[in-house]
């Protein structure tokens, strides 16, 4: 830098730091903003980064870092901020005395018991062969060909028995299906 006498001197640490700050501040803010999505948070992170660097340089005499370090440090601070935000959100959600959005566990268990009882009752009302075919298909997850082979009947008979079972269950469980469809649409 030139003095009033025309003599140049090496820039001081403060001058070098100021040039670094003015040169990279806006770019670092843009980088941090890309991660955190908030201009204020991005500015705060970058200002904190420069403060940390200045404290380190002024107290320990460490050299002023270059641009690659600045951009890596800004990215890491932004990622750390995101992680911290997620942890805070989880903690707040756990501490919140508000009621949960969905039905309570006791109510869900009661509805599940009621539905299970209704399905069991409807299954008991099916003809024996129809109930057996349906059970092998839905509970044992067997394909129609394997059911036909085990029972010694044709695949078309298995398909016919499944059609009858599903039709009877749809009729018997119709009111429950309406309630379940409504509950599922509320969850979406």
CB 49 within 8 A of CB 70: yes
CATH number, domain of 131, equals 1.10.10.10
Place of tokens 């959600």: 93
Give me the long-range contacts of 173-180 (CB less than 8 A, separation at least 24). 173/118, 173/119, 173/122, 176/115, 176/118, 180/115
Where is the domain boundary, 46, 67, 95?
A: 95
Q: What is the pLDDT along the chain (188 residues), one digit of tens a residue?
A: 555 555 577 778 888 889 999 999 999 999 999 999 999 999 999 999 999 999 888 888 888 899 999 999 999 999 999 888 888 888 888 876 654 555 567 777 777 788 788 878 888 888 999 999 988 988 888 999 999 999 999 999 999 999 998 888 888 877 776 666 555 555 54
Question: Do both 80 and 120 map to the same domain?
Answer: no
Question: Do both 117 and 78 map to the same domain?
Answer: no
Rg of the chain (C-alpha set): 35
Q: What is the pTM of this model?
A: 0.47
Question: Do both 76 and 119 map to the same domain?
Answer: no
Where is the domain boundary, 95, 114, 129?
A: 95
Domain annotation covers residue 4: no
How many domains are contained in the chain? 2
CB 162 within 8 A of CB 170: no
Full residue range of the structural domain in which residue 54 is found? 13-95
Domain annotation covers residue 133: yes
Where is the domain boundary, 35, 64, 95?
A: 95
Q: From CA 111, how far away is CA 139, in angstroms rounded?
A: 21
Place of tokens 């805070």: 88
Residue 12 — φ and ψ, nearest 5°?
A: -75, 170
Per residue in 21-55, pLDDT tens?
A: 999 999 999 999 999 999 999 999 999 999 999 98
Measured over the CA atoms of residue 29, residue 31, residue 36 and residue 37, the dihedral's sign is: positive
Question: Do both 67 and 133 map to the same domain?
Answer: no
Question: Do both 72 and 142 map to the same domain?
Answer: no
Question: Do both 50 and 32 map to the same domain?
Answer: yes
């Amino acid at each position: 830098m030139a003095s009033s006498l025309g003599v140049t001197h090496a820039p001081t640490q403060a001058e070098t730091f100021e040039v670094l700050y003015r040169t990279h501040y806006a770019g670092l803010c843009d980088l941090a903003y890309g991660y955190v999505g908030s201009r204020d948070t991005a500015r705060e992170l970058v200002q904190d980064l420069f403060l940390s660097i200045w404290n380190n340089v002024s107290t320990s005499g460490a050299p002023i870092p270059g641009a690659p370090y600045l951009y890596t440090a800004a990215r890491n601070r932004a990622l750390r901020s995101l992680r911290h935000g997620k942890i805070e959100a989880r903690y707040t959600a756990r501490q919140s005395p508000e009621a949960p959005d969905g039905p309570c566990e006791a109510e869900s268990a009661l509805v599940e018991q009621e539905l299970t009882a209704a399905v069991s009752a409807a299954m008991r009302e099916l003809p024996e062969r129809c109930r057996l075919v349906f059970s092998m298909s839905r509970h044992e997850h067997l394909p129609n060909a394997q059911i036909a082979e085990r029972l010694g009947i044709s695949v078309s008979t298995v398909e016919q028995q499944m059609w009858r079972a599903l039709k009877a269950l749809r009729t018997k469980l119709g009111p429950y299906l309406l309630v379940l469809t409504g509950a599922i649409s509320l969850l979406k």
